[in-house]
Amino acid sequence: MAEKGRAARGKPAGRPSVKRGYEKIAFGGVNDAVRLLFEEEPDPRELERLDLNSVAEIRRVRDGLEIKFYDRMKALECLRSLEERDGKQPPLYRALMACARAAGKEGPDGD
């Protein structure tokens, strides 16, 4: 029986996959981060609701905030690499992964 708080595939509940994280960086919006730049004093409760997945770093500078974003092109390259790797696994590895999935276990990459 699976532990409580775990997703059906064995990952902790609410924990995204690596692929999903790269997708958020590559295709996600930056509207909330830009809005944050123009806030005088952001409300801490409002900060929890902002989508800041594409933000790599936030720094308070003398005149306000400085925000650095993750590189979308690198995220796209990583996504492409993940997709290529998924399609080029050796037959033995694919067979072992199928057996592991059938037994209810995950592979090393969480997929």
pLDDT tens profile 43-54 = 888 888 999 999
Please check the confidence at residue 109 and state whether its pLDDT lies above 80. Answer: no
CA dihedral 54, 57, 58, 60 (to 10 degrees): -160
pLDDT value, residue 3: 46
Could you tell me if residue 7 is inside a domain? no
Could you tell me if residue 66 is inside a domain? yes
Q: Report the chain's C-alpha Rg in angstroms.
A: 19
Could you tell me if residue 60 is inside a domain? yes
Higher pLDDT, 74 or 63: 74
Share of the chain above pLDDT 70, in %: 71
Could you tell me if residue 41 is inside a domain? yes
Ramachandran quadrant class, 42 (left: phi over 0; alpha: psi -120 to 50; beta: rest): beta
Question: What residues are paired with 66 via a beta bridge?
Answer: 59
Indicate the pTM of the whole model. 0.58
Could you tell me if residue 38 is inside a domain? yes
Three-state secondary structure call for residue 55: strand
pLDDT in tens, 7-37: 455 555 666 688 899 999 999 999 999 998 8
Could you tell me if residue 82 is inside a domain? yes
